[in-house]
Amino acid sequence: MLRIAVPNKGSLAEPASQMLTEAGYRQRSDSRELVVHDPENDTEFFFLRPRDIAVYVGAGQLDVGITGEDLLLDSGAKADPILPLGFGGSTFRWAAMPGAVASVDDLAGKRIATAYEGVVTSYLTGRGIAAEVIRLDGAVETSVKLGVADAIADVVSTGTTLRNAGLEVFGEPLLTSEAVLIRRQDVETSGAAVDQLVRRLHGVIIARQYVLMDYDIPEGLVPQAVAITPGIESPTVSPLHERGWCAVRSMVRRRETNAIMDQLWDLGARGILVTAINACRL
């Protein structure tokens, strides 16, 4: 049986379960359920703190898990990302009171509060900066106002929390992160069940990122049209009943939909239709 770790709380929990549901797996109906058995897929889901997931997977108790790249790095667990999942995006940044710290090099001798001690310590060591790292559990933005720290290193998404705490970012981000599927390091092959999970999740990601575009185009313009919509592999081109015209079907990135329709229209395409992809396996 395949054993999968899924975040039980926090920003990754809902989108992770949503993605697994779209991939055809059974998920919990009550947020207090800690284990869900999915007999149809011979799979068991363990709902764990996102921070602990890399530990379980790294130690080999669970086959794979969904967590943040930043949490994986911070844990130091022997697990590797195998598939980026396209949600839970964030940057990890330095912040302090405006004007208090000009650059990362000015952190020498200062106190830095963070919930990501592993990430911050290895970054500072790598840069040869000696500073005191104060490990807090969360709400680290408040530590500066209360005089516990001179600067913080934390996840920034919209920046609202920083602004509300009167803090300003400085320096380059320490890292960028998104949700990833992870598995234990040093495994030769993952097995058929993990391969199937990866294919299903990949299908969901592609279905979210792409749409299907159909259009009609004069035969002579097909090469130019296909250059605009090359698709993932190759577009389907079929003759129309009206002589001299072709129908083209291709996958197009969702966010480029309107720009591509404009280009096709200018080229001479007509009857341009866009349809959502509900599921796919490529």
Ligand X SMILES: O=P(O)(O)OC[C@H]1O[C@H](OP(=O)(O)OP(=O)(O)O)[C@H](O)[C@@H]1O
Interaction site with ligand ATP (CB under 6 A): 9-12, 50-51, 68, 70-71, 88, 90, 138, 155, 157, 177
Residues from 182 through 211 that contact ligand X (CB under 6 A): none
Cβ proximity to ligand X: between 93 and 200 the closer is 93
Residue with tokens 């363990």: 46
Q: With CB cut-offs between 5 and 8 Å by kind, which of ligand X, ligand ATP, none does residue 177 bind?
A: ligand ATP
Query: Among residues 161, 190, 196, 263, which is the contact residue for ligand X, using CB under 6 A?
Result: 161
**Binding to ligand X (CB under 6 A): which residues in 63-82?**
none
24 near ligand X, judged by CB under 6 A:
no
* Selected range binding ligand X among 29-37, 149-157, 183-191, 240-248, rule: CB under 6 A: 149-157
For ligand X, the closer CB: 156 or 251: 156
Nearest distance in Å: CB 162, ligand X = 6
Q: Which two tokens stand for residue 220?
A: 């002579």
Torsion angle of C-alpha atoms 117, 123, 128, 129, degrees rounded to 10: -50
CB of 136 to ligand X, least distance (A): 9
What residue ranges bind ligand X (CB under 6 A)? 10, 138-139, 141, 154-161
